[in-house]
């Protein structure tokens, strides 16, 4: 299994441009997540999905959109890039254990985004 894959690895955007960060998992996990990590800070949850067709906002959703049309894919869309969106973005997935107590998240390698 490749696990969680993300593309691109690096990207530089100009203010106002749009882009989509791709995320794919091959573990048949129900849950998927998008986080951002700013220097010296912990990860902040942007959006998450508990299954195909179901998405919900996390702690910092403003300026982003997501969709989940398949179990495997969970793209993150930036519509009008702003310098405040300069960050490292991580996608993650988890089985979605209904018992809650044992659900471990598996992370992709990240996308480093700079908005100038």
Partner 1 sequence: KQEVTQIPAALSVPEGENLVLNCSFTDSAIYNLQWFRQDPGKGLTSLLLIQSSQREQTSGRLNASLDKSSGRSTLYIAASQPGDSATYLCAAPPGGGSNYKLTFGKGTLLTVNP
- Residues of the shown chain interacting with partner 1 in the complex, contacts defined by CB under 8 A: 4, 31, 33, 40-45, 48, 50, 58, 90, 92, 94, 96-97, 100-110
Minimum distance from CB of 13 to partner 1 (Å)? 20
Minimum distance from CB of 37 to partner 1 (Å)? 9
Strand arrangement of the beta sheet that strand 4-7 belongs to: 4-7, 19-25, 76-78, 64-66
Nearer residue to partner 1 within complex by CB, 17 or 43 = 43
Minimum distance from CB of 16 to partner 1 (Å)? 28
Nearer residue to partner 1 within complex by CB, 17 or 72 = 72
Do the Cβ atoms of 43 and 90 come closer than 8 Å?
A: yes
Within 10 angstroms of residue 10's Cβ, the number of other Cβ atoms is 10
Do the Cβ atoms of 76 and 85 come closer than 8 Å?
A: no
């Amino acid at each position: 299994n490749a696990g969680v894959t993300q593309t691109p690895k690096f990207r530089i955007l100009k203010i106002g441009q749009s882009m989509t960060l791709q995320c794919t998992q091959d573990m048949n996990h129900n849950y998927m997540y998008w986080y951002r990590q700013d220097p010296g800070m912990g990860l902040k949850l942007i959006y998450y999905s508990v299954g195909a067709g179901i998405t919900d906002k996390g702690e910092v959703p403003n300026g982003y959109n997501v969709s989940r049309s398949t179990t495997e894919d969970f793209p993150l869309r930036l519509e009008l890039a702003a310098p405040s969106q300069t960050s490292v973005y991580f996608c993650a997935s988890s089985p979605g254990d209904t018992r809650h107590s044992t659900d471990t998240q598996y992370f992709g390698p990240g996308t480093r985004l700079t908005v100038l």
